[in-house]
Structure 1
Amino acid sequence: MKLFTKGLLLIALPSAIELALLGVVFDMQAQTTAAVERSSDSKQILYQAAALENPVLRQVARVRTGIAAGDPSFMERHAAWVDIGDRLARLEQAVADTSDQAARVQGMREAIDNYRQQALSVAQSLRTGATMTPFATLEGGELPAQVVRFREQLHTFVDEAARLDGERNATLARTRQRQQYALVGAVIGSMLLWAGTAFAFARGIGRRLDVLADNAQRLADGQTLSKPLAGNDEIAALDAALHRTSGLLRIAEQNQAALKVSLQARAAELASVNETLRQETQDNEMFIYSVSHDLRSPLVNMQGFSKELQVSCDELRATVVEAGLPADEHRRLAHVLDGDMQESLGFVRSSVTRAAAIIEALLRISRAGRLEYQWQRVSVGRAVARVVDTLQKRIDERRAVVIVRELPTAWGDPSAIEQVFSQLLSNAINFLDPSRPGHIEIGALDAQQEDSVHSSAPRTRTFFVRDNGLGIPAAYMSKVFRAFQRLHGDVAQGEGVGLALVRRTVERHGGRVWVESAEGAGSTFFVTLPDHPLRH
């Protein structure tokens, strides 16, 4: 059974019983109200009955006064008789539900009506001058017989009404007492009912919730869960989900342990590979340095020998001129000395120069990996300003415009960072499109652009050098930062190691360099440098 259904039952059953209790309370309230009305009616009847005797006695006094005075006007006051009649009518209406009392009221009405007829007869006799002897006899006693009967009926009526009033008052008291008992019983019953409901909830759902909370805490602490709860409600479903989660966590922990072992083994393997690679890199650098250094001496010798050969050729040419040889021999020797010999010597000198340049590039690459950096906070703006000043002559020759934006500081070696921007700016100047004005911009990405470029490395700043030069073909993009890779060799001189040195320097700073370019539209080189000291 679902929790919603259980909740409805827990609410519906006590509510139905409470409605029954309220019905009893309302019934007792209705009975009390009826008893109060009956008690009030009894008091009103007694009041009306007590108020009947005096008007009748006053009428008797008027009749006797009229007889004594011989004036019929005392007996012709119809308003008094009408008032007495109205009082009797109201009294009769009030006791209509009590037959005995209604009969007594009817008897009083008959007695009053008879006495009224007698009074009217007396008045008629007085007006006609008839004798009053018969009427004097009727009125001679203390009260007329009709009035005596009226008083007897009235006293009996009042006594019965008083008795009924007492009974109704007692009934009202008992009804009110029962009402109080019913109200107290309803309140106590409601409290007991809801207490029982709360106890049932605490014993049923509350206990299950305690088990569920305990299992959740056990799951959080990594302990074994207690046995699953029975039932098909939401609590049981949630407890089953906790048990499934516990099982999945155990499996995940086992997988994590295995993965940790694998990662440790992989880390040890990578450390070994890195150490091997570092050693091989160091060996390669030492090899490059040694080979380059050793090759410089033969090249110097070759350059010297080529100069000596040039001097010897010049001396031989002078000797030939002074010897006065025949024209054919002189022409043949001049052709050898000024033609083949000069061409060969020029080839040797250019080859030696080319080899020397390559060796110098190898030495620069080797030194870039072995150079000790002086780590400090570097003002990139000042470094770029020095680079622009140094290259200003070339900038003016190419009629280019260089715009330097506001640049943040970075952490690194001042000389190395200056060389990076010097190489990038030189590269941009060399490969400007001669068919349009050159435009070069040096700046840094703002915080929002930083997040979109490298959200995983928030402790670096990204700088850029943007130009509107020749651009880089898509097929050549992967070779840009390789050594001795030259594009547009007919446009600019060099050995093709500048961008390789930039990448080597930036990577040693813990950053990276990349390029975005479109052929014919220009290129943008991006460089990330650390904003805080690196952990070595």
Structure 2
Amino acid sequence: MKLFTKGLLLIAVPSFVELALLGVVFDTQERTAQAAQWVDNSKQILYQSSALVDPLLRQAARVRTAMVTRDAALIDRHAVWVDLNDRLAKLDTLVADTPRQAEHVRNMRRAIDGYREQSIAISQALHEGRSVTPYIALETDALPRQIALFRDELGEFDAVAAQLDADRSIALAQRRAHQQYALIAAVIGSMLIWAATAVVFARSIGRRFEVLTDNAERLGSGRPLAAPLSGRDEIAGLDTVLHQTDARLRVAETEQAALKTQLEARARELAAVNEELRQETQDNEMFIYSVSHDLRSPLVNLRGFSKELHVSCDELDNLVGDAQLPEKEQRRLTHILDGDVRESLHYLRTAVARAAAIIDALLRISRAGRLEYQWQRVSVGRVVGRVVDAMQEAISQRAAIVTVRELPPAWGDPAALEQIFSNLIGNALNFLDPARGGRIEVGALEPEPVDPAEPRAVRMRTYYVRDNGLGIPAAYLSKVFRAFQRLHGDVADGEGIGLAVVRRTVERHGGRVWVESAEGAGSTFFVVLPEQPVRF
């Protein structure tokens, strides 16, 4: 049974019982109110009946006085009959549900009506001057016959009304007592039924919740769970889910232990590979440095000897001219000296210069990886300002416009950052399109939000150098940061290592660099640098 159904039952059963108790209470209250209304009705009947005799007796006294004084004005008072009729009408309404009392009221009305007719007859006789002797006998008795009848009926009426009033008062007291008992029984019954409901809830649902809570705590602390709960309600479903979760966690722990073992093994392998790679990188840098440094001496010798050979060729050329050799031999020697020998010397000196440039480039790459940086907070705006000031002559020659936006500070080495922006801005100047006005923009993007869940996260700032130059073909974008890669060799001189040095320097700062470009539309180089010290 679902919890919803159980809850409805736990609410419905006590509610039905309470409704029954409330019905009893309401019925008792209704009966009590009815009894109170009956008592009030009896009081009203007694009050109305007690007010009927005096007006009628006063009217009888006035009739007798009128007969003695022969003054008809004493009798002609209709207000008394109106008052008596109103009171009888009220009594008739009040006793409508009591046939015996209603009969008494009708008898009293007939008696009053008979006496009224007699009074009217006496009044007419007095007005007409006739003798009232026939009526004297009727009025000389202690009471007229109609009034006597009226009093008899009223006496019986009052006796019955008094008895009814007493009976109804007793019944009202009993009803009120029953009402109190019913109310007390309803309150006690309501308390008992809800107490029973609470006990049932504690036994059927509360204990199940305790088992479920205990299993949840056991699951959280990694202890074995208690036996699953029986039933098909939501609590049993949750308990089943807890047991399934526990089983999955056990499997996951086993898999995690295996993965941890594999991860530790891979970590050791990675550490070994990283150490080997570091050693190889160091060896390569040392090799490049050593080779480039050791090659300098032979190149110096080659350059010196080639120069000596060039001077010797000039001296031989002078000697041949002064020797006055035969024309044929002279032309032959001149052709050898001015042609083959000088051309060979030119190629030799060009190759030596090229080799010297390559060695210098190798030394620059080697130094980029071996220099000790002076880490500090660097004002990138000032660094770029110095670079732009140093390149003012080249900027003026190319009639270019360089715009420097607001640049936030970065964390790094001032000289290294100056080299980064010098290479990027220099490349932008070198590869501007001569067919249109050159524009170069240096700025920074909005900072990326730092993930608060990553405690080692460092805020990074992205700078850019944008130009409207020749652009880079899509096929060449993946090679642009490699050493000795030159796309537009006919446009600008160089060995093609500037961007390689930029990439190496940026990576040593914990950042990255990339380019977005379209051929013929210009290029944008992005550089990401830390805004604060990198926590390793």
Above 0.5 in TM-score?
Answer: yes
What's the TM-score, normalizing by structure 2? 0.88
After superposition, what is the alpha-carbon deviation per residue over 1:455-513, rounded to whole angstroms, capped at 9, x for unaligned? Answer: x9652222222222211111111111111222211222222222111111211121111
Match of 2:48 in 1: 48
Deviation at 1:164, TM superposition (A): 1.9
Distance 1:131 1:422 in 2: 152
Match of 2:359 in 1: 359
Deviation at 1:170, TM superposition (A): 1.0
After superposition, what is the alpha-carbon deviation per residue over 1:258-305, rounded to whole angstroms, capped at 9, x for unaligned? Answer: 222222221111111111111111111222222222222222222222
Q: Specify whether residues 67 and 499 from structure 1 end up closer, same or farther in structure 2 by C-alpha distance, changes over 3 A only.
A: closer
Correspondence 1:490 to 2:498: no
Distance 2:105 2:14 in 1: 54
Distance 1:39 1:516 in 2: 104
Match of 2:19 in 1: 19
Counterpart of 1:525 in 2: which secondary structure? Answer: strand
Match of 2:430 in 1: 430
Match of 2:347 in 1: 347
Aligned partners of 2:448 and 2:460 also within 8 Å: no
Q: Specify whether residues 265 and 145 from structure 1 end up closer, same or farther in structure 2 by C-alpha distance, changes over 3 A only.
A: same
After superposition, what is the alpha-carbon deviation per residue over 1:302-354, rounded to whole angstroms, capped at 9, x for unaligned? Answer: 22222222232222222222222111111111111111111111121112221
Match of 2:290 in 1: 290
What's the TM-score, normalizing by structure 1? 0.88
Distance 2:416 2:164 in 1: 122
After superposition, what is the alpha-carbon deviation per residue over 1:152-183, rounded to whole angstroms, capped at 9, x for unaligned? Answer: 44333323322221111111111122122222
Percent identity for Structure 1 against Structure 2: 65
Match of 1:337 in 2: 337
> Which structure 2 residues correspond to residues 113-512 of structure 1 after superposition, within 5 A?
132=133, 141-144=141-144, 147-447=147-447, 458-512=458-512
Q: Specify whether residues 174 and 390 from structure 1 end up closer, same or farther in structure 2 by C-alpha distance, changes over 3 A only.
A: same
Distance 1:54 1:185 in 2: 51
Counterpart of 1:447 in 2: which secondary structure? Answer: coil
After superposition, what is the alpha-carbon deviation per residue over 1:71-95, rounded to whole angstroms, capped at 9, x for unaligned? Answer: 6776676765665566555545544
Distance 2:303 2:130 in 1: 190
What is the count of residue pairs matched by the alignment? Answer: 531
Distance 1:308 1:382 in 2: 48
Distance 2:286 2:147 in 1: 155
Unaligned runs of 5+ in 1: none
Deviation at 1:222, TM superposition (A): 3.4
Distance 1:92 1:379 in 2: 113
Which AA in structure 2 matches 1:224? P
Distance 2:18 2:77 in 1: 64
Aligned partners of 1:450 and 1:462 also within 8 Å: no
Distance 2:83 2:387 in 1: 131
Task: Return 89-98 or 515-524, whichever deviates more.
Answer: 89-98
Q: Specify whether residues 49 and 472 from structure 1 end up closer, same or farther in structure 2 by C-alpha distance, changes over 3 A only.
A: closer
Distance 1:245 1:522 in 2: 57
Distance 1:302 1:94 in 2: 148
Aligned partners of 2:447 and 2:460 also within 8 Å: no
Which AA in structure 2 matches 1:247? A
Aligned partners of 2:465 and 2:524 also within 8 Å: yes
Distance 1:35 1:457 in 2: 86
Task: Return 373-382 or 196-205, whichever deviates more.
Answer: 196-205
Unaligned runs of 5+ in 2: none
